[in-house]
Structure 1
């Protein structure tokens, strides 16, 4: 792999999921345009989301309908593309292993982006024991041991600010929440611990920038640790207060020791909320922070700010209230 092939024909898996739709939007909006953009989707999704699929086709997106677990369907899809981007969700993350194997054997695919967006699964030695990381770690192990002829990039973004900066309901509110209507907030730790955040839109922006950044020779897998901004819960609260009239909100705190206790109880009960507790605990402990970020390595694309994210969060909650959803 002395030369760096150009990703020009992009096939996206998980395009209708939580982060996939943001990635797809930025691929479509990219200037200059990619030669070909396609999505791989199941017959059920194609039928259920027929209107959305129709609009994508009108925007020039090719839609490949097939079974992601069918070797024949995937091999056929790969024939028209040279780059695979996975945005598959946590519950189906191991589906990437056969996708990688087939990509490695494909005569056309040269570049693969696994679904790595989010918390760094190899941040330090403790990462190997974190339960939410286990499936992604299996994918990385497979790549290390079996994939040698693909250009692999892990785009590590840290938590999505769209989810961190907003209202959390139920038991999850203890992990941090910003309630615009009630002007109440729960902050992690003492509120001053830094966390690196990436907006969902910027995941797509940074991924497109990475696609356009050539590899250094022998650099695969390439790890890019990128973000939109680094801030603290207290700074987020201050911005909410500023944008909602300047009045001080009611604030409570969840100490990290309490969060660890909640996490332990949830794990023992098999409660799915344990994943939320674990990830928020990692963030609160500084598990998203680096001396440098890699935005500069991909051309320092323009990214969103804390002010913009808070404004969007306020608008979302006001809109939901007006529509009767709250």
Structure 2
């Protein structure tokens, strides 16, 4: 079992893909080829960034249409590991990518876009609306792909700490912290329900550590990893410690009320309905794993709650604190 050598990334310039690419490039000498597959539109709008990747970071930039089978086949030549960071609305596009990987003579390992909530946390997970596309991807890899040497790993990180802190516009009752107004809505009866979070930077580190591992224990399974475990009440206490005062307004949204908000958001067709469902799953304990798998990939150093709160305060207030 060897670690990844020649990599191809999809979604590398997106929200989480950029963190994954940055982490991989921080140990550039540990890999052979590093290539990214990007659209003609991205090549136009991010031309300077992509040029820097090519000239300064020794990254191959392949411009093409992800739905063009010929272009994807050509991109796979000489590649042994595929990392997908496609966003939620593009998850279904991974299905043809996996089928082409199975037909490739060089691709041996596929990491689908699983960063986020564990979609197999409980028997009820199969019915959750936000999980349906990821479930189809897992079914393909686990049950339909017959090539024995095409392995997979799901890097399951739980919710992104950076985003969990932010209130949902128009659905503020679904939790979040407003640093400027010193106002917070904590999920759960008393805000004491535990939740495991991962910063987006740490997602990159965790994927990087996975790619560098040659352990057979990380193949053909979900790696349930995270930065730290906390609770809304602990997050609130850290905000107050760092801002130096009690906050003016703190309220709580118990699970029954959160479920009401969720049902109404879906009924009203609100784009944030998915986010409310995920926050309900997290509050129910859907990020608490029987075993934290960081140790399986060398226990990379993670950020802590103090770092996350400090970054959020700086993002909102800058140097005015």
TM-score, normalised relative to structure 2: 0.95
Gaps of 5+ in 2: none
- Measured against aligned partners, the alpha-carbon deviations of 1:17-75 in whole angstroms (never above 9, x if no partner) come to 11000000000002653112111001111011111111211222110111100110000
- The 3 A distance-change label for structure 1 pair 286 and 35 is same
CA drift at 1:14: 0.2
C-alpha contact (below 8 Å) 1:83/1:112 kept by paired residues: yes
The one of 30, 34, 40 aligned to 2:31: 34
The one of 141, 144, 163 aligned to 1:143: 141
The one of 6, 10, 13 aligned to 1:13: 10
**CA-atom RMSD, angstroms?**
1.7
- Bigger Cα displacement from structure 2, 249-258 vs 292-301: 249-258
- The 3 A distance-change label for structure 1 pair 105 and 88 is same
Instruction: Spell out the pairing of 1:202-241 with structure 2 (5 A cutoff).
Output: 202-216=202-216, 220-241=219-240
Partner of 1:299: 298
CA drift at 1:321: 8.8
Partner of 1:195: 195
The yes-or-no answer on 1:102 pairing with 2:100 is yes
Distance 1:296 1:145 in 2: 28
**Helix, strand or coil: the match of 2:170?**
helix
The one of 69, 75, 80 aligned to 2:67: 69
C-alpha contact (below 8 Å) 2:168/2:272 kept by paired residues: no
Gaps of 5+ in 1: none
Partner of 1:168: 167
Partner of 2:246: 247
CA drift at 1:247: 3.1
C-alpha contact (below 8 Å) 2:174/2:261 kept by paired residues: no
Partner of 2:155: 155
C-alpha contact (below 8 Å) 1:160/1:199 kept by paired residues: yes
- Measured against aligned partners, the alpha-carbon deviations of 1:196-225 in whole angstroms (never above 9, x if no partner) come to 0011011110111111222427x7422100
Distance 1:31 1:220 in 2: 22
- Measured against aligned partners, the alpha-carbon deviations of 1:133-170 in whole angstroms (never above 9, x if no partner) come to 001101111112222431200000000001012x3242
Distance 2:244 2:250 in 1: 16
C-alpha contact (below 8 Å) 1:172/1:276 kept by paired residues: no
C-alpha contact (below 8 Å) 2:161/2:199 kept by paired residues: yes
Distance 2:116 2:320 in 1: 29
- The 3 A distance-change label for structure 1 pair 144 and 192 is same
**Helix, strand or coil: the match of 2:98?**
helix
C-alpha contact (below 8 Å) 2:168/2:174 kept by paired residues: no
TM-score, normalised relative to structure 1: 0.93
Distance 2:41 2:319 in 1: 29
Instruction: Spell out the pairing of 1:269-308 with structure 2 (5 A cutoff).
Output: 269-308=268-307
Aligned length: 317
- The 3 A distance-change label for structure 1 pair 320 and 158 is farther
**Helix, strand or coil: the match of 1:171?**
coil
Distance 1:30 1:294 in 2: 22
C-alpha contact (below 8 Å) 1:241/1:249 kept by paired residues: no
- Bigger Cα displacement from structure 2, 52-61 vs 226-235: 52-61
- The 3 A distance-change label for structure 1 pair 77 and 321 is farther
